[in-house]
Structure formats: C-alpha cells, structure tokens
C-alpha cells in the first residue's frame, strides 16, 4: 500500500529554527505515519530537542510549519497542542512529589476533562471512580500498582519515569513524544521500559522517540531519522539506517557504531 496523506499523523514541513546566527534546524521535512514508532537520533547538539520543542509549541520555528492530524500546530500554545492529543514525556519527570502516585496519574485526566488544573481538584478524587479505575489499570500496566499510595517524591528515578508515562497514557494521546525515556536508568529498568513501550506499540499508538541508547532505538523503532548539524542526513528502516555510512560518519567521524548501546 502506498503511503498517502491519510495515514500521516504528523508532518514537519520545511522547518528551520535559528538561534541568532546558529542554524539549529534547517530544511526539516519529516512525516510520521499513524501507528508507527519513529525514532529521531543524532549526536549531541544535532537539534533533536529543538525539533521536539518546535513540535510541542515551546519554540516557534523561524520558517515552516508543523501539521498534526490535518491541523496546523504552528502558532498554537503548548497546552492547546496538548489538548489536541500531542503528549510529551519529558526527559526530566514533571510530577507532584507531595501527592500519591495514584493522584499524580489521575491529575492529567481531571485537567483534560476540566480544561485546566484546579486548586481543589484533589478534593473529589474518591468520587471519581471511573478515572480512579483507569489510573489503577494504567498503574498496573506500568508495574506501579503496588506503589499507588506512595508519595511520588519517594519513588526511584526509574519508577518516576514509569509514573510519568502513566500520566501521559491516561490522556489517551494520539501522538506520544518520548524524550530519552530510559536516560539514567539501569540496564534492568531500561529493559523493563522497552517491554512496556513494546506493549504500547502493540496498541497502535503513534510515537516519536528521541533516544541516545541504540539498544532502545533498535528494539522499538519502525523508522529512524538521523539528525546531524540541524539537518536530516538519513532516514529509513532500522537496518538500512544502521548500515548507512553517512550515519556512521556523523557519529564521531565513523568510530562509533550506531547499533551499539552506550
Ligand atoms: N535556547 C537556545 N538558545 C541558543 N542556542 C540553543 C538553544 N537551544 C539549543 N541551542 C543550540 O542549538 C543546537 C541544537 O541543540 P539541541 O539541544 O536541540 O540538540 P540535541 O540534539 O537535543 O542535543 P543533546 O543530544 O545534547 O540533547 C545546539 O548547538 C545548541 O547549543
């Protein structure tokens, strides 16, 4: 079947981003297909975070546009983009440390329902059986059900990241953006997270993942775009990208094998 506009969820169209004289992104054209996991890799300073920030509306592109689900995102505010179904898992978890794990996971569902966080949203939590049930189900999926009454601030780094993923999943994203979801994790926690993301992948959710760990990338990605110097230098299926000499060149002048974990 040929790829048509109908199954392109996100189109980053001719995007440029300059910081003063620095061209952080140039000529970026990226199409993300529905239901796929698309990885964006590249060496430090390649422009990966800048690209993610342009997609979620934290940065305005200097030129070009981002189109999601047929609608132009450029010019919209981050919370408007979030409400449209674009949900980002941050590199540093943004959580409420004093609240329980369960309350943290329920909070985004209230925010989505009510349009914004409210000062008193935690008062009627017990009454909100449906949201509570869903939060518990998701906590079960991410392996945190037993810790649901713990203070979020007391969780290990790996558990905080899992909780934050749960906070994203309860929003039913149409597009989930993951910024180094296994950064700082032990190999064991990394493998648990890979298994969890593979389970989400099986559900058909579209995902964009920025990741340095090639073990994670090659375990999850259907397609890979390689950024270097603010440009996409290669794009394709994992095996093709792995063997592309331009990609090997981009990583430390060819001495780094993109295919190894690091
Ligand atoms: N707000 C900013 N102001 C000025 N320059 C910036 C800003 N944000 C990023 N840059 C520069 O833009 C370039 C791309 O940075 P970016 O953080 O997007 O790269 P990255 O691929 O995410 O890197 P890393 O893997 O190290 O996180 C870098 O040269 C960086 O110094």
Write the residue with the smallest CA distance to atom 30 of ligand 1. Answer: 45
- What's the domain range around 138? 96-157
Q: Give residues with Cβ within 8 angstroms of 14, minimum separation 6.
A: 27, 28, 29, 63, 64, 65
Task: Assess if residue 171 is contained within a domain.
Answer: no
**ipTM score here?**
0.97
Between CA 91 and CA 161 the distance in angstroms is 9
Write the residue with the smallest CA distance to atom 29 of ligand 1. Answer: 45
Q: What is the pLDDT, as a whole number, of residue 126?
A: 54
List the pLDDT tens digit at each of the 262 positions of the chain: 444 555 999 999 999 999 999 999 999 999 999 999 999 999 889 999 999 999 999 999 999 999 999 999 999 998 899 889 999 886 555 688 999 999 999 988 877 766 554 445 554 555 578 889 999 999 998 889 999 999 999 998 888 888 999 999 998 999 999 988 888 788 888 888 899 899 887 788 999 999 888 889 999 999 999 999 999 999 999 989 988 888 888 775 544 444 443 3
Contact status, residue 15 vs residue 54, Cβ threshold 8 Å? yes
Residue 24 CB less than 6 A away from ligand 1? yes
Task: Assess if residue 71 is contained within a domain.
Answer: no
Quote the crossing angle between the two packed helices 157-169 and 101-114, to the nearest 10°. Answer: 30
| Sequence-ordered strand ranges (E) for the chain | 8-19, 22-33, 37-41, 63-68, 71-72, 86-89, 175-179, 206-210, 223-228, 231-236
Between CA 104 and CA 122 the distance in angstroms is 10
Task: Assess if residue 109 is contained within a domain.
Answer: yes
Task: Assess if residue 135 is contained within a domain.
Answer: yes
CA angle 3, 9, 11 (to 5 degrees): 85
Between CA 237 and CA 223 the distance in angstroms is 5
Residue 46 CB less than 6 A away from ligand 1? yes
Number of independent structural domains in the chain = 1
* For the chain, the helix, strand and coil percentages under 3-state DSSP, each to the nearest 5: 40, 25, 35
Contact status, residue 222 vs residue 205, Cβ threshold 8 Å? no
Task: Assess if residue 144 is contained within a domain.
Answer: yes
Ligand 1 centroid to Cα of residue 19, in Å, is 9
Write the residue with the smallest CA distance to atom 31 of ligand 1. Answer: 45
DSSP type of residue 121: T
Contact status, residue 179 vs residue 210, Cβ threshold 8 Å? yes
């Amino acid at each position: 079947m040929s790829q048509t506009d109908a199954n392109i969820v996100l189109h980053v169209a001719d995007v440029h981003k300059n910081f003063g004289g620095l061209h952080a992104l140039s000529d970026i054209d990226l199409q993300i297909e529905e239901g796929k996991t698309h990885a964006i890799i590249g060496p430090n300073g390649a422009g990966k975070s800048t690209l993610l920030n342009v997609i979620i509306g934290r940065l305005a592109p200097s030129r070009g546009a981002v189109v999601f689900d047929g609608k132009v995102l450029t010019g919209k505010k981050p919370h408007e983009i979030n409400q449209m179904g674009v949900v980002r898992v941050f590199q540093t978890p943004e959580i409420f440390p004093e609240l329980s794990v369960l309350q943290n996971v329920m909070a985004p569902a209230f925010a989505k329902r009510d349009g914004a966080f409210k000062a008193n949203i935690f008062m009627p939590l017990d009454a909100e059986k449906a949201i509570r049930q869903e939060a518990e189900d998701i906590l079960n999926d991410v392996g945190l059900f037993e810790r649901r009454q713990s203070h979020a601030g007391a969780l290990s780094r790996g558990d905080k990241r899992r909780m934050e993923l749960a906070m994203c999943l309860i929003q039913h994203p149409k597009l989930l953006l993951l910024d180094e979801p296994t950064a700082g994790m032990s190999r064991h926690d990394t493998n648990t997270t890979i298994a969890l993301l593979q389970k989400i992948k099986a559900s058909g959710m579209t995902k964009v993942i920025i990741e340095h760990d090639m073990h994670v990338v090659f375990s999850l990605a259907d397609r890979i775009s390689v950024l270097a110097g603010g440009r996409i230098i290669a794009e394709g299926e994992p095996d093709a990208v792995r063997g592309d000499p331009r990609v090997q060149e981009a990583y430390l002048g060819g001495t780094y094998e993109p295919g190894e974990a690091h």
